[in-house]
Amino acid sequence: MSPYITDAAAWQESWDRQQEAYLPDREHRFEVMLDAVDAVRDTAPPRLLDLAGGTGTISLRALRRFPDAEVTLVDLDPALLALAAASLGDRATVVTADLGQPDWPATLPHQRYDAVLTATALHWLPAERLAALYAEIRDLLRPGGLLVNADHMPEDTLPELTGRLLARARERRAARHAAGAALSWSQWWDQAAQDPTLRPLVRQRHAIYPSGHSPEWNPPVSWHLGALSDAGFSEVGTLWRGGPDAAVVAVR
Ligand SMILES: C[S@@+](CC[C@H](N)C(=O)[O-])C[C@H]1O[C@@H](n2cnc3c(N)ncnc32)[C@H](O)[C@@H]1O
């Protein structure tokens, strides 16, 4: 049972501001993701899986665009899951599962989805595990259904420019943090730890992610396209690019 969070909307807003300081084009990538869902949907309400969905950012936007969608959100973080549950209520099924383990699909309410959507999350998994996860996701999709993964995925042919883009982005972010325009990742978590309802969940989170974050691994987009092809998808490609970030799409 989730704790009762009265101010979930305020936490959503501060999460969005915190994430946007790292990803200024965050909303655009979500829109492109939902355009892809729209392109493959049939007459039935779309069944969507928000993978490593955190506070429910993608689920909330998907439900705004497709009010009749059947949405499942999976994550491992107890604090973010509590915020997701408080914001989504009975409009989505919120599931606790570890994507680092191959048995995670058993926790889902359905074994067939029209689309699996994920953002800024799978770089927490090591290469071998992510390659296996891509195949597990394929098995959950109906034929013609799709996966979209938006994450840090540099363009292979632009190593020098990517470094420069990242350096500029760091400068702009530092200015926003210095001016108090947005909280940094660690400041956001410090703030959450001061909230009486979230505090015990943040403590549990520290036990799950002892370093505050799993290891980060950001291979170029070609790695993802190769791994998705190896996982047996029929069409794979880049759906969107924003500087050093991209969204790859894979159609079953
Ligand atoms: C930066 S957040 C992004 C959340 C959301 N997709 C968004 O765009 O706001 C990364 C998410 O990945 C989740 N995550 C990382 N490793 C995970 C794992 N092994 N199993 C499930 N979720 C995981 C974290 O708990 C966190 O919610």
Q: Is residue 1, in this structure, part of any structural domain at all? A: no
Q: In the chain, which residue ranges form alpha helices assigned H by DSSP?
A: 8-22, 26-40, 57-65, 78-88, 127-140, 159-179, 185-194, 199-208, 221-230
- pLDDT of amino acid 214: 64
User: Does the beta carbon of 76 sit less than 6 angstroms from any atom of ligand 1?
Assistant: yes
- pLDDT of amino acid 2: 62
Q: Is residue 91, in this structure, part of any structural domain at all? A: yes
pTM comes to 0.96
Residue 106 sits in a domain of what CATH number? 3.40.50.150
Nearest CA to ligand 1 atom 25: 77
Which mutation among 31, 80, 198 tests ligand 1's pocket best, with the greatest number of atoms within 8 A of CB?
80
Q: Is residue 18, in this structure, part of any structural domain at all? A: yes
User: Does the beta carbon of 245 sit less than 6 angstroms from any atom of ligand 1?
Assistant: no
User: How far does residue 43's CA lie from ligand 1's centre (Å)?
Assistant: 31
Q: Is residue 3, in this structure, part of any structural domain at all? A: no
Question: Quick one: 43 exposed, middle or buried, by C-beta within 10 A (0-12, 13-18, 19+)?
Answer: exposed
Instruction: Work out how many domains the chain is built from and give that number.
Output: 1
Q: Which segments in the chain show pLDDT lower than 50? A: none
Domain containing residue 169: 8-251
Question: What is the DSSP-derived secondary structure letter of residue 100?
Answer: T
Q: Is residue 198, in this structure, part of any structural domain at all? A: yes
Residue 99 CA, closest ligand 1 atom number: 20
Which mutation among 99, 118, 211 tests ligand 1's pocket best, with the greatest number of atoms within 8 A of CB?
99
Q: Is residue 86, in this structure, part of any structural domain at all? A: yes
Q: Is residue 79, in this structure, part of any structural domain at all? A: yes
Q: Is residue 2, in this structure, part of any structural domain at all? A: no
- pLDDT of amino acid 213: 66
Which mutation among 50, 73, 74, 77 tests ligand 1's pocket best, with the greatest number of atoms within 8 A of CB?
77
- pLDDT of amino acid 229: 98
**Which pLDDT tens digit goes with each residue over 89-113?**
999 999 999 999 999 999 999 999 9
